[in-house]
Chains A and B, each alone.
Chain A
Amino acid sequence: MLKLEDICMQVSNDNGENIEILKGLNIEFQKGKVYAVTGPNGGGKTSIAKVIMGIYRHTKGHIYLEDEDISDLSITERARKGIGYAFQQPPRFKGLTIKNVLNIASPEADLMYLRKYLRDVGLCPEDYLDRDLGAGLSGGEIKRIEMAQLLLRAPLISIFDEPEAGVDLWTIQKLLGLIVSRYKNNPNKTAVIITHNEKIIPMCDEILVVDGGVITAQGTPKEIWHLIKDDIECKVRDQCQGDVIYEIK
C-alpha cells in the first residue's frame, strides 16, 4: 500500500546547521491494518506523517503509494491519490462553516452523511453544521471536526495525528471503535494513528516506535509492550494515583 524507502529529512537550525530529523526510514504500511506510531516527543512521529502528506519535503529516499513513486507529488496530488491526514492542531477558518469544510473533504457526500459523521464524532449536527470553524469552537470540538473530515473522506491511507489530544475519554473510545471497524481487515484501507495513549496502542495491529528519527522497534502490541510499558505504566500510575487500570492482552 504505502512504502517509505530510506527516507531522510533535514532542516536547518538557527545557526544554519543541518539537523537530520528522519534518518533513513524504511516502513511499509499494508492494507487492512491499523498502525500505531509512538515514541517520545520530538522523535519524528509527526514529521513522518507530514512527509507522507507532502507538507514536509524529504531530502533523500522514495515514497511509494500502490507501487507508484509519489515522492515529487504536491500535497494536492497526494490527497487526490488517496492520502489523508488529520492534523494534530487543526487550523481555524474565519467565515468557513463546518458544513463548508466537510463538503470540501467529500464533495459528493450529501447532507445525511455530513450529519452522520458529525454524530459519529459526538457532535450534534443541528448545533454544528452551520457554525463557523473559527474562534468560537473549543480545541476539542475542532479536533473532532478534523477527524470527521478524514473519516468522511475515507482515503486509501488515513493518518490520525494524536486523535486523543483534547478529546474526552468517551468520544475517543467511540472514535477508536470507528477506526478499528472501518480499517481493520478492510482490504482497501490503512489507518495510521500517531499516539501516546495506552488505550489506543493495544487496539492496533502493529506498533512502530520512533525515536531520534529512526524506528527503534516494530511489532505487534504484545511484542512491543515490554519496550514501552515502563513509560506508559508510569504515566498511567501518575494519572490513576497508583492503580494500573490497563492490562495488555
Chain B
Amino acid sequence: MKLSKLDLELLNAIADIKEVPRGALNIRLNGAAVIRQSSPNISVGPNDDGTGLIVEIKPGTKDETVHVPVVLTQAGLQDKVYNTFIVGEGADATIIAGCGIHNDSHAISRHDGIHEIIVKAGAKLKYLEKHYGEGSDSGKRVLNPTTVITVEAGASAELEMIQIKGVDDTVRSTVAHVHEKGSLKIIERLLTQGEQKAESDIQILLEGIGGTAQVLSRAVAQGNSFQLFRAALIGKAACLGHVECDAILMDNARIRSIPELQAEDADAVLTHEAAIGKIAGEQLVKLMSLGLTEQEAVNTILEGFLK
C-alpha cells in the first residue's frame, strides 16, 4: 500500500513519520488498516470482533516503539476503533498514537478512538497521542478519544496528549487505575481557536499504597473557543497526587477548570493548582525589549507554553 502525499503530511504532523517506520506498526487510513507489521517483541493484530487492535509488548522488552496512527481523509467518515495495549512485565516501551483529519467538505469527519492500556507490574510506558485537523470547508473535524489505563504494581506510565490545532470538537475521557507503588503522569497540551470546543475529563483512582499521579495541563484558548477541563484524583490508599492546570486565555475565548480531590485514606496527599489568565504584559514587554515584535512575542510565549 502506497501512502499519498497528503497521508504522509498528516502522519508527519501527528507522529513525526516521514516514511513508513520499521518495527511494530499499524496505520489506519479511513477506517481500515493499510499497513500492519509486528516485531519480534511486539505483536500487532486484530481483536476478536474485528473492531480494532490488540498490541502486546513482550515482558522484558527494552526501548522499543510501536506506531499506531490514524488518518482520515475521506470526507464525512465516522470512524470508531477499539484498541488494547498490553505492556508486559518489566518492559520499557513507547506507543505513538495520534489522529490526523483532513476534511475539505461540508460533512462531519469524526474519529472515536477507544483505548485500553494495561501496564503490567514493573513495566514502563511512554504514550504519545497527538491530534491535528485541517481542511478548507465547513465540515467539522471531530476527535473523541477515550483511554482507560491500568498501572499495575511498581509500573510507571507517562501519557502525553496533545491537540495541536484544527480540531473543531473534542471530548476526551481518561480513566486511570494506579496500583501499589505505581506511577502515572498525564501531560495534556491543548490549543483551541475560532469556534472550537474541547472537553477533557480525567479521573485517576489511586488504589494502592505508594501510588503516585501527576496531571499537568497546559491550555491556550483563542478566538471564541471554549475549553472545559475536569480532573479528579481519588486517593483510596496512602498515595500522592497532584493536578496542575495552567491556561492562557485570548480574545473572547472561555476556559472552565474543575479540579476535584477525593481522599478516602488519611494518608492520601492530594493537591491541585490552577491558573487561568491572559499573557502577562511584562512577558510581552520583556521579549519586545529584546527586539521581537508584539506578535512574535505572543507566538514565542505560546509556543513555549505548549511545548
Contact = CB atoms under 8 A, between A and B. Distances in A.
A91 interface: yes
A124 interface: no
A105 interface: yes
B-side binding surface: helix, strand, loop or mixed?
helix
B288 A94 contact: no
B305 A91 contact: no
A240 to B, nearest CB: 35
A76 B294 contact: yes
Given A91-B282, A96-B300, A104 B290 contact: yes
B286 A90 contact: yes
Interface string A81-116: 000110100110111100011001100000000000
Contact of A76 (B246, B291, B300, B303): B291
B293 interface: yes
B292 interface: yes
A76 B288 contact: yes
Nearest to A55: B285
A93 B290 contact: no
Interface residues of B, number: 22
A75 B292 CA distance: 9
Nearest to B305: A95
B78 interface: no
Contacts of B293: 76
Most chain A C-beta atoms within 10 Å of own C-beta, residue among B290, B293, B301: B290
Nearest to B280: A91
Contacts of B301: 93, 96
A153 B289 CA distance: 11
Contacts of B289: 53, 55, 75, 79, 84-85, 87
Nearest to B288: A75
Interface string B185-208: 000000000000000000000000
A149 B286 CA distance: 11
A161 B148 CA distance: 53
A153 B292 CA distance: 13
Given A76-B294, A100-B304, A91 B246 contact: no
A156 B286 CA distance: 18
Given A93-B304, A96-B304, A79 B286 contact: no
A79 B291 contact: yes
Contacts of A226: none
A221 to B, nearest CB: 29
Given A76-B291, A79-B291, A104-B300, A95 B283 contact: no
B2 interface: no
B114 interface: no
Interface in A47-96: 53, 55, 74-76, 79-80, 84-85, 87, 90-91, 93-96
B128 interface: no
A76 B285 CA distance: 9
Given A53-B289, A75-B289, A104-B300, A95 B307 contact: yes
A94 B300 contact: no
Contacts of B304: 93-96, 100
A87 B289 CA distance: 10
A79 B306 CA distance: 27
Most chain B C-beta atoms within 10 Å of own C-beta, residue among A84, A85, A93, A149: A93
Contacts of A55: 285, 289
Given A91-B283, A95-B305, 13 more contacts: A76-B288, A79-B289, A85-B289, A87-B282, A87-B286, A90-B286, A91-B280, A94-B218, A95-B304, A100-B300, A104-B290, A104-B291, A104-B292
* 5 smallest beta-carbon distances between A and B, as pairs: A95-B304, A96-B304, A75-B288, A79-B291, A91-B282
Interface of B: 218, 246, 280, 282-283, 285-294, 300-301, 303-307
18 contacts: A53-B289, A76-B288, A76-B291, A76-B292, A76-B294, A87-B286, A91-B282, A94-B218, A94-B246, A94-B304, A95-B303, A95-B304, A96-B300, A96-B301, A104-B287, A104-B290, A104-B292, A149-B290
